[in-house]
Structure 1
Amino acid sequence: MSRGRRRSGETERTGFLLARHGGIANARLRQALGLAGLSPRHGMTLTRLAETGSMTQQSLLDILGVDASVLVTLLNELEDEGLVQRRRDPTDRRRHIVEITPAGSAALDKVDAAVDQVERDLFTALSTEQVDQLHELLTRVRTSVNDPACTED
């Protein structure tokens, strides 16, 4: 039987099921992060900067896998809120170095708490091993944040 085909006893195709759960997870994350004045992409950007430390804007672009104009908008918003800082690279004035600020680290604590709560609510019926397995499987699904259908902010 081909992938995604309904098997005996299944009432929904995998793609429909994933779309429904993804939509619900997205809405819950947006709501939870919105209370901190952030979007999921803001949260992802702060998380990456906290994990890797200071980096060039190009490196951050490569890691996040977003369009350059999207990254500039994100960084402008985060910089306006004092959550990240951009400065010229002293060794190459054409490049910008991006780093999380102390206020950004404090905001990241709110991001982590919000995401933790959403994940607890979503995965309450799953064991830790099942959540880890789901994560592993989802990382192998072929999608991209640059897909025109992606409305992730």
Structure 2
Amino acid sequence: MTAAQESPHPPQRLGLLLAWHGSITETRMKKALSAAGLPPRHAMTLMRLEEGPISQRALAEGLEVDPSVLVGILNDLEGEGLALRRRDPADRRRHNVAITEAGSAALAKTNAALDEVELSLFAALSQQDQDALRSLLARIDSNADDFNCGE
């Protein structure tokens, strides 16, 4: 058996390396989110709401989810007292969404859990390395609309 066959790591192709590390990271992040009590989409929604109230339509666009999917997420968050929907007084057809105090507390717990994962993941990287990685990742064209993934 060669050293390459014994290695638990994928070949050194960039796409496979990115997928490999992405899968590990996703698993660790989902575990942290689960321990904090929020599914990933719910956590992302609260993170966006932390920036301030926003229209439901703008929230769906910002999160890049179908409005019907967002309704389900908001129903869950609202049911748990973590978010609040109100009609926009300037346009009664529009709903504005805001995070509640309980939502902010849940988000603080979630952020603490994610911080632990990120500290562990990036412990070997300096802040400069992390900034460089962030910059490189931002330059990767990963727009799913450009591909027929799995079709």
TM-score (norm 2): 0.84
Give the drift of 1:142: 2.3
| Residues 65, 145 of structure 1: 8 Å contact kept | no
Question: What is the CA–CA distance in structure 1 between the aligned matches of 2:24 and 2:130, rounded to whole Å?
Answer: 17
- Which residue does 2:6 correspond to in 1? none
Gaps of 5+ in 1: 1-10
| More contact order relative to length (CA 8 Å, sep ≥ 6) | 1
Query: Relative to 1, partners in 2 of residues 1:18 and 1:129: Cα closer, same or farther, differing over 3 Å?
Result: same
Deviations 1:24-50 (A, max 9, x none): 111111101101221222221111111
Question: What is the CA–CA distance in structure 2 between the aligned matches of 1:40 and 1:19, rounded to whole Å?
Answer: 19
Q: Given the alignment of the two structures, is residue 100 of structure 1 paired with residue 76 of structure 2, yes or no?
A: no
- Which residue does 1:39 correspond to in 2? 39
* Structure 2 counterpart of 1:68, one-letter code: P
- Which residue does 1:65 correspond to in 2? 64
* Structure 1 counterpart of 2:36, one-letter code: A
Give the drift of 1:69: 2.1
Aligned-partner SS, 2:87: strand
Q: Which has the higher helix share?
A: 2
Number of aligned residue pairs: 139
* Structure 1 counterpart of 2:12, one-letter code: E
| Residues 43, 108 of structure 1: 8 Å contact kept | yes
- Which residue does 1:123 correspond to in 2? 122
- Which residue does 1:79 correspond to in 2? 78
Query: Relative to 1, partners in 2 of residues 1:46 and 1:128: Cα closer, same or farther, differing over 3 Å?
Result: same
| Residues 83, 101 of structure 1: 8 Å contact kept | yes
Q: Greater Rg, structure 1 or structure 2?
A: 2
Question: What is the CA–CA distance in structure 2 between the aligned matches of 1:104 and 1:130, rounded to whole Å?
Answer: 33
> Aligned-pair RMSD on alpha carbons?
2.0
* Structure 2 counterpart of 1:95, one-letter code: R
Gaps of 5+ in 2: 1-10
* Structure 2 counterpart of 1:65, one-letter code: E
Deviations 1:35-90 (A, max 9, x none): 12212222211111112x11100111121122222212211111111110001111
Aligned-partner SS, 1:18: helix
TM-score (norm 1): 0.83
Aligned-partner SS, 1:142: coil
* Structure 2 counterpart of 1:111, one-letter code: T
Query: Relative to 1, partners in 2 of residues 1:90 and 1:107: Cα closer, same or farther, differing over 3 Å?
Result: same
